[in-house]
């Protein structure tokens, strides 16, 4: 099952992001079952868009998952070029001021 996940924790960074974006959550990710690695997450970090084990990403966080009934293969292929691209903090800060 592929799912979109939203998460938050009690860290200062999470609270700041939620405040700036006026959001209940500070992070979003895609969770899916890899035939090679098991349950994994694709998400944006300061290091870029990466793939990590699901358990590592959700540790100590409040999460909500929403199941998708779509084949994500074409979507993953379309964003392949963005893997390991650094996070765009300038846009997040600018948009929070609007």
Greatest Cα-to-Cα distance within the chain, rounded to the nearest angstrom: 43
Instruction: Write down the H helix ranges in 1-98.
Output: 12-21, 54-58, 73-78, 89-97
Q: Record the tokens describing residue 66, joined without a space.
A: 């929403």
Strands 2-8 and 27-34: antiparallel
Q: Over 80: is that where the pLDDT of 83 sits? A: no
Tens of pLDDT, residues 23-80: 999 999 999 988 999 999 998 887 778 889 999 988 889 999 999 887 777 777 877 7
Domains, the chain, with CATH or none: 2-97 (3.90.1720.10)
Predicted model pTM: 0.74
């Amino acid at each position: 099952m592929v799912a979109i996940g939203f998460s938050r924790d009690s860290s200062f960074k999470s609270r700041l992001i939620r405040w700036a974006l006026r959001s209940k959550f500070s992070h979003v990710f895609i969770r899916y079952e890899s035939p090679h690695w098991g349950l994994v997450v694709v998400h944006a970090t300061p290091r870029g868009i990466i793939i990590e084990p699901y358990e590592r990403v959700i540790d100590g966080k409040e999460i909500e998952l929403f199941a998708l009934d779509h084949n994500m293969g074409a979507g993953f292929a379309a964003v392949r070029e963005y893997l390991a691209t650094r996070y765009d903090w300038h846009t997040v800060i600018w948009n929070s001021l609007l």
